[in-house]
Amino acid sequence: MSDAPTLFTSLALRGVTVPNRVVVSPMQQYVAGDDGLPNDFHLQHYGRLGIGGAGLVFTEALAVTPEGRVTHHDLGIWSEDQIEALKPIVAAIAARGGVPATQLIHAGRKGSVGRPWEGYNPLDEASAARGEVPWQTLAASALPANPGWHVPQALDEAGIARLISAYAEGARRAAAAGFRVLDIHAAHGYLIHSFLSPLGNRREDRWGGDFEGRIRFLLAVSEAVRAAWPAELPLFVRLSCVDDQPGGWTLDESVELSRRLKEIGVDVIDCSSGGLGERTTTKLIRRPEGYQVPYAERIRAEAQVPTMAVGLITTPAFAEEVVAEGRADLVAIGREALMNPHWPLQAARALGHDPNFGAWPPSWGWWLEKRARSASAPAQ
Ligand SMILES: Cc1cc2nc3c(=O)[nH]c(=O)nc-3n(C[C@H](O)[C@H](O)[C@H](O)COP(=O)(O)O)c2cc1C
């Protein structure tokens, strides 16, 4: 029996063994060009996160179509040249044993906006003059994400079929690029979430109405992606487990949906929340440590499916507690990985694992171990 902290035990998912339970959460960088191709910044950023020692390193979300981007600066997976361009990032993540993972997104009615640090507002004539031309957004229903935002076009049958194929094509390209874990982004108010939630979906056809109608699009996307994504590789789905809005999507619905996703071959439910309804991204909201862990815990217990917890998990002790107590199978860190890309390596040391810097690149670890020993060397 291993006496390693649970956080540093491996997890087998289909044909992939994730070496530890720490995950770098997907984080959009919004620094690509309009072609959706990665550049040197992406390579350095993901290479650094790969060195940092997380078992699973997600890239930012990749848009399945150009109009499925959030901004003009998102990475994409809608063309064959994007496959080649992503391969060095996959290699950089995998170089020290991390499993390279990515996420498929269609931003739906939350697309066609400026970058967060440039206001995060819908593109308009002023942005067009700077070269950021707005585009027609798409959603379940023709309801803007926020007052004054673009009114999306409600998808018709042909549009829905086109997008289901786009997700499947995205999955095929992600596999061709070498990614070994794939996550379908069904959270945060983006396209799929706009179908799931009664706040975004006012359709009266088979893609809306009751729970069965509202989950139909995600189930169809997941089935198509599962068929296109290699059978030996795990598939995750990120849910906003609750809308946190009156009349919104509920945790009970997330539990039932998770059971259904498991039946069609989804391996892990990635448990986030919010993003649809009242705008929260640009607001300052006080949140407790691990505020979304209870969602991962309940879905894991009641839908009997592995879960990933995310959201203000910042200390090694808390991350260890979440996995050791069986509240989630994986813990994802987002902003803390931006703060400190070596968080997983440092967490291992903090938990008494890897005391001699053995998990660090040897060209760093040899020096760091010597420095640590020299601190307790006798004075000359
Ligand atoms: C810069 C940034 C970009 C993000 N982009 C994505 C994304 O591409 N896909 C996604 O599912 N979540 C995205 N998120 C949400 C994070 O994955 C994570 O769920 C959230 O930041 C909460 O975790 P944290 O408290 O550890 O940061 C993003 C968050 C940040 C800070």
Task: Specify the amino acid at residue 156.
Answer: D
Q: Which residue, by CA, sits nearest to atom 14 of ligand 1?
A: 27
CA nearest to 180, candidates 94, 264, 263: 94
Question: Using alpha carbons only, what angle is made at residue 230 by residues 296 and 25, rounded to the nearest 5 degrees?
Answer: 35
Q: Is 281 in the pocket of ligand 1 (CB under 6 A)?
A: no
Read off the tokens for 289.
Answer: 């440590």
User: pLDDT tens digit string along 161-208?
Assistant: 999 999 999 999 999 999 999 999 999 999 999 999 999 999 999 999
Please tell me the distance from the alpha carbon of residue 214 to that of residue 208, in angstroms, as a whole number.
Answer: 5
Bigger pLDDT: 358 vs 281: 358
Residue 27 lies in a domain: yes
Residue 380 lies in a domain: no
Phi and psi dihedrals of 189, rounded to 5? 80, 5
Using CB atoms within 10 Å of the CB of residue 17, give its burial: 0 to 12 exposed, 13 to 18 middle, 19+ buried.
exposed
Model confidence at 379: pLDDT above 90 = no
Give the domain CATH number at 135: 3.20.20.70
Q: Is 27 in the pocket of ligand 1 (CB under 6 A)?
A: yes
Q: Is 311 in the pocket of ligand 1 (CB under 6 A)?
A: yes
Range of the domain at 77: 6-374
Strands 11-13 and 16-18: antiparallel
190 is catalytic: yes
Question: In this predicted structure, what is the pLDDT of residue 375?
Answer: 85
Confidence of residue 38 (pLDDT cuts 50, 70, 90): very high
Residue that has been written with the tokens 């993972």 in this structure: 101
Residue 379 lies in a domain: no
Q: In the predicted model, what is the mean pLDDT of residues 67-75?
A: 98
Please tell me the distance from the alpha carbon of residue 56 to that of residue 50, in angstroms, as a whole number.
Answer: 9
Residue 278 lies in a domain: yes
Q: Which residue, by CA, sits nearest to atom 13 of ligand 1?
A: 27
- Calculate the average pLDDT of the chain: 96
Look up residue 126 and give its DSSP letter. Answer: H
Q: Which residue, by CA, sits nearest to atom 3 of ligand 1?
A: 27
Q: What percent of the chain has pLDDT over 70?
A: 98
Residue 187, classed as helix, strand or coil, is: coil
DSSP code string of 283-333: S-----TTTTHHHHHHHHHHH---EEEESS---HHHHHHHHHTTS-SEEEE
Q: What is the pTM of this model?
A: 0.97
For 1-10, 246-255, 274-283, 340-349, which range has the lowest pLDDT when averaged over its residues? 274-283
Question: In this predicted structure, what is the pLDDT of residue 280?
Answer: 61
Q: In the predicted model, what is the mean pLDDT of residues 294-322?
A: 98
Question: In this predicted structure, what is the pLDDT of residue 1?
Answer: 46
Number of domains in the chain: 1
258 within 8 A of 296, measured Cβ to Cβ: no
Residue 1 lies in a domain: no
Residue 111, classed as helix, strand or coil, is: coil
CA nearest to 184, candidates 67, 287, 266: 266
Confidence of residue 49 (pLDDT cuts 50, 70, 90): very high
CA nearest to 240, candidates 208, 212, 219, 271: 271
Question: In this predicted structure, what is the pLDDT of residue 223?
Answer: 98
**DSSP E strands: which ranges in 65-136?**
99-105
Give the atom of ligand 1 at the shortest distance from the alpha carbon of 103. 9
Model confidence at 370: pLDDT above 90 = yes
7 within 8 A of 54, measured Cβ to Cβ: no
Read off the tokens for 261.
Answer: 């996703």
Q: In the predicted model, what is the mean pLDDT of residues 71-95?
A: 98
Residue 116 lies in a domain: yes
**DSSP E strands: which ranges in the chain?**
11-13, 16-18, 22-24, 56-63, 99-105, 138-139, 153-154, 181-186, 235-240, 268-272, 307-310, 330-333
Residue 100, classed as helix, strand or coil, is: strand
Read off the tokens for 356.
Answer: 């001699």
- Taking the centre of ligand 1 as the mean of its atom positions, its distance from the CA of residue 26, in whole angstroms, is 6
Question: In this predicted structure, what is the pLDDT of residue 265?
Answer: 98
User: pLDDT tens digit string along 252-303?
Assistant: 999 999 999 999 999 999 999 999 976 666 667 788 999 999 999 999 999 9
Catalytic residue among 30, 46, 167, 190: 190
- Taking the centre of ligand 1 as the mean of its atom positions, its distance from the CA of residue 81, in whole angstroms, is 26
Question: In this predicted structure, what is the pLDDT of residue 182?
Answer: 99
Question: In this predicted structure, what is the pLDDT of residue 378?
Answer: 85
Model confidence at 34: pLDDT above 50 = yes
User: pLDDT tens digit string along 105-142?
Assistant: 999 999 999 999 998 999 999 999 999 999 999 999 99
Residue 197 lies in a domain: yes
